[in-house]
Amino acid sequence: MADSSPAKPFFGEMADFFDWRTQTESFRERERKFLEIARLALERSSAERPLCLDLGCGPGAISLALARLGFDTIGVDSSAAMVELATKAATESREGNGRCTFKCMDLGKFLEGFSGEADLIVSSSVFEYLGDPTRTLQLVAGRLRTGGTFATSVPNMGSVYRWVEPALLLRTPRHLRYRREWRNSMRARQLIKKGRTFGLEPVQKSHFGQIVIKGRPLLARFTRFPLIGTMTLVVLVRR
């Protein structure tokens, strides 16, 4: 199948940076958004031990938060450095004993080989880095229970920040690379349209993500507005 994981060298090199970002208010806002969706999915689940897959789990912060919420969580990432950080975090927390596990694998290969059914699948800022997002979305649909939820965040290209982002990132070339690594143009509208063809119905489309310039968050109270929030959260349910 076509490549369905983010570029491994880039994320390996940036693992420590992404780990640091999990301590920022910007990331905590992101985590809160995913946990809001997860709580609803947990209420709908009839499973004794509801299962969640975190695709592109990075250093594992969201995976561990989902485990604390009550999910058996499997975090998957193609970067060994990311998985090492995630595994360490799980070992040092109470979720390390079977509630939350991590795998270093190509996302597509993992989904193809996964035989279970998940109550919830999450993917935070991963789809823009995939070589074949359509195939990954199809696999996601096939690994959800009927009534299961898929929540993912993608860049909001309508945000004023996205218009000036390349110029701002020129000051930090290392960070500019993260945008250069985007490998497809699938955004919220296309994702929703494709999802419908695989039996995934949209139940929520919202915005979040602080504009941060020189380390200072701007307009933090207005991230829910399309012109401000830098990210779009898409929530789909399998019918």
This prediction has a pTM of 0.89
What confidence tens digit (pLDDT) does each residue in 115-170 have?
999 999 999 999 999 999 999 999 999 999 999 999 999 999 999 888 877 666 65
145 CB-side CA count, 13 A: 17
Residue 2: what pLDDT?
46
Which helix (H) or strand (E) segment holds residue 177: the answer is helix 173-180
Q: What confidence score (pLDDT) does residue 173 get?
A: 62
* Average pLDDT across the chain, whole number: 87
- Give pLDDT, residue 1: 46
Which superfamily, per CATH, for 8-238? Vaccinia Virus protein VP39 (3.40.50.150)
Higher pLDDT, 12 or 100: 100
Confidence of residue 220 (pLDDT cuts 50, 70, 90): confident
pLDDT at 110 over 80: yes
Q: Is 214 exposed, middle or buried (0-12, 13-18, 19+ CB in 10 A)?
A: exposed
Residue 184's pLDDT is: 85
Domains of the chain: which residue ranges?
A: 8-238
